[in-house]
Amino acid sequence: MIRIDNNLIEALKESKSIVFFTGAGISAESGIPTFRGKEGLWNKFRPEELASFNAFIKNPKLVWEWYNYRRKIVHEAQPNPAHLTIAEMQNHFKDVTVVTQNVDNLHRRAGSNKVFELHGNIERNFCINCKKFHNEELDFSTGVPKCECGGLIRPDVVWFGEYLPEDQFLGGEKAAIESDIFFVVGTSVVVYPAAGLIYTAKASGAIIVEVNLEETDLSSSANYSYFGKAGEILPNIFEEYKLNTNL
Ligand code: BJW
Ligand code: ZN
């Protein structure tokens, strides 16, 4: 058990709006590989090489293989204690918002009901030509699936060089501005504009709490940094909070 600072517990007791800004590391304990770092599955390919529209146009088959492989892992995965703790916290705090960079849907499956998805959702697809959604089971038997209009179908995720969905980003930004405590969980904090929300929250007066296996560029400016597994540290923080509030 990691020691949780008393001041953080006191701040939690006073807080009304809590945000969890999450990245791939929160789903690592569910068996979903992260993008970067030594445990990152995509060491063979840098995310920048596959997660781009140019990569898709150049080799749609390869990019689809990557997404189908990951979709299978996501379908077999279950939310872990980190996702579940965040969902449970909804019952104890006035406002709990999840702002996630993940496309795996695990926060919603854990029961979180206010979730902004900055980088899309791997469950959805759309046509690059007419933009129609294709959420039916796709047929890969004759190659890369195509829309009736002839356009290639792609996953509804945000690739490098693409704009984030405006409603999701604005929702995340509003939550960041209004937050009292802003948890940053399992992200390398290198991808923008998502990572910029941390600094928006900080500039708006939020307490920044980082949870990660290792130091990141954020660590020196976070108010609290806890190093270890999110699936252990988040339950740990919540247990400590409950002990202190006689819940
Ligand atoms: C644990 C753990 C455990 C492990 N417990 N912790 C220079 C400066 C600023 C910006 C740019 C720049 N050059 C280019 C840009 C823009 C670019 C960018 O940010 N690039 C940087 C890499 C330099 N950004 C964009 O292009 C964005 N769009 C944009 O800017 O639009 C404006 C624009 C429009 C037109 C032209 C130009 C600009 C879009 C970014 C889209 C990112 N997409 C991806 C793929 C999504 C779909 C998919 O899933 O396939 O999003 S890439 C990938 O990275 C994915 C993630 O959401 C994102 C962040 O990764 P994350 O979540 O942080 O994961 P990891 O693996 O990096 O880290 C895991 C962490 O967990 C580690 O720290 C571990 O230690 C930790 N961990 N186990 C706790 N158990
Ligand atoms: Zn179409």
CATH code for the domain of 17: 3.40.50.1220
Residue at which a domain ends, from 157, 185, 213 = 157
Statement to judge: residues 182 and 230 lie in one domain: yes
| Domain count for the chain | 2
Statement to judge: residues 233 and 187 lie in one domain: yes
Is residue 92 annotated as a catalytic residue, yes or no? no
Query: Ligand 1: which residues within 6 Å by Cβ?
Result: 23-25, 28-29, 34-37, 40, 47, 51, 101, 103, 119, 157-163, 186-188, 190-193, 211-214, 216, 229-230
Asked if 128 and 152 count as a contact pair (C-beta separation under 8 A), the reply is yes
Residue 161 Cα, ligand 1 centroid: separation in angstroms?
A: 11
| C-beta neighbour count of 88 within 10 angstroms | 17
Report, as an integer, the average pLDDT of 150-174. Answer: 98
- Helices 81-89 and 230-244, interaxial angle, to 10°? 30
Question: With 70 as the cut, is the pLDDT of residue 31 above it?
Answer: yes
Token pair of 144 as six digits: 């890369």
Asked if 157 and 120 count as a contact pair (C-beta separation under 8 A), the reply is yes
Residue at which a domain ends, from 108, 133, 157 = 157
Q: Dihedral (C-alpha) 115, 116, 118, 121: value to the nearest 10 degrees? A: 50
Q: What is the pLDDT of residue 167?
A: 98
Q: What is the pLDDT of residue 43?
A: 61
pTM of the prediction?
0.97
Percent above pLDDT 90 for the chain:
91
Statement to judge: residues 106 and 172 lie in one domain: yes
Q: What is the pLDDT of residue 38?
A: 63
Question: With 90 as the cut, is the pLDDT of residue 205 above it?
Answer: yes
Ligand 2 ion: residues within 5 Å (CB): 127, 129-130, 132, 147, 149, 151
Question: With 70 as the cut, is the pLDDT of residue 39 above it?
Answer: no
CATH code for the domain of 65: 3.30.1600.10
Band of pLDDT at residue 49, cut at 50, 70 and 90: confident
- Domain encompassing residue 47: 33-76+121-157
Question: With 90 as the cut, is the pLDDT of residue 48 above it?
Answer: no
Statement to judge: residues 147 and 55 lie in one domain: yes
